[in-house]
Amino acid sequence: METPVDIIRVNDDGSDIDSDNDENICRTPTKSSPRKSPLKLSAVLKRKRRLSLSEPGSSQDCQESPDTQPGNLVSYSDHSEGEEDLEEDGDKEDEDEECMIEQSRTATASSKKADFVFKEPSFRKKQFIFHPFKSVNGVLSPDTNNTEDQVTVTIPEQLAASYGLYIWPCAPVLAWYFWLNQNEFRSKRILELGAGTSLPGILLAKIGSEVTLSDSVMTPKCLDNCREAVKMNNLQENVQVIPLTWGLVTMSLLNLKNKLDWVVGSDLFFDPSVFEKLIFTIQWLLSNNPGAGFVCTVQERSADWSIDLLLKKYSLRCEFEYPERFLAGTGISPSDLTGSHTIFVLKIFLK
């Protein structure tokens, strides 16, 4: 009995023809072979699997005969008709799947064209309730017996592609800072820069401050949002809204000379590209309003961001305070306001 061997054809020079063919196949550019859709490839793989299961030696074709000794197998090797049937079934599946894909694409495209209607983001309202606190030996504690002095502020916001139309975490932090330090800001003349949703400024107006809200002339929707906030809180007679662009000396800026005690803002240092424009505007306002100071909340976004050089350039100094300090005794956890962010109160004054 002859032992089966693999037959390898060899060229005259001794090289393997099969090896050369394999190498040429590997070097053939991918683009020369037709690309099939994933579903079609899936159908091909299924067909191949069925064919492999029907080949001699597979688990389904090799069965142990009850008449033979254990270990002897009976093979069924005639599968030509079955293979033809499987190929026909596979081709039919390919056609059905391609038809289903085309119908799905057509239905999706027509649905998008028919159903899509652009809707401009609408205002939604948020309410903030500030409860009174009492000071006992210099320590704040909630005044549960006093419900008349609580203040409710309603703020409009939009989930739109504009920083100034959304209430960022810095705004409630600054509002609570003002609420817990009312005596320092009550009856003062205050300008809020980059007001947007205007939560801190509206609260200051409700505790008796003379407030002016401002935002860039380049963002009219933010100015409209300020006006809407004023209207919602019935402060049309008490609060003024003006356009004020950082870094520019305009009539709106000049008209603020000798008219302010405080300049405030929340999350103004959100982009390094505006830092110097903002610092310039702060320096001008403080220089032209003797005794005035600047207060804002800052969210730390990058360790590489700094205003130290700008403060030196414009002869300014600063100090800061974290929420853990001014919220002590209130029962308010700093994380309730800041979330997972690091936020602090920054104060700037002239040197």
In DSSP notation, 233-257 reads TT-TTTEEEEE--TT---HHHHTTT
Stretch among 73-87, 192-206, 230-244, 308-322 having the lowest mean pLDDT:
73-87
Domains of the chain as residue ranges with CATH:
160-350 (3.40.50.150)
Q: Burial of 185 by CB count in 10 Å (0-12 exposed, 13-18 middle, 19+ buried)? A: buried
Instruction: Give dist(CA 174, CA 153) in Å, integer.
Output: 14
User: Do residues 279 and 349 touch, judged by C-beta distance below 8 A?
Assistant: no
**Does the pLDDT of residue 2 top 90, yes or no?**
no
pLDDT of residue 140: 78
Average pLDDT over the chain reads 79
List Cα–Cα distances, 156 to 9, 107, 194, 198, 226, in angstroms.
Answer: 83, 39, 15, 9, 9
Cβ-based neighbours of 304, under 8 Å, separated by 6 or more: none
* pLDDT confidence bin for 60, thresholds 50/70/90: very low
Closest CA to 90 of 48, 37, 151: 48
pLDDT confidence band for 143 (50 / 70 / 90): confident
Q: At residue 111, does pLDDT exceed 60?
A: no
Tell me how far apart the alpha carbons of residues 83 and 325 are, in angstroms, rounded to a whole number: 81
b/e burial code for range 232-251 (CB count within 10 A of at least 16 → b): bbebeeebebbbbbbeeeee
Over residues 61-85, mean pLDDT? 46
Residue among 250, 226, 243, 309 nearest 275 (CA): 309
Find the range with the poorest average confidence among 1-5, 51-55, 93-97.
Answer: 1-5
> Percent of the chain, pLDDT > 90?
52
CA of 1: how far to CAs of 4, 5, 16, 77, in Å? 9, 12, 28, 22
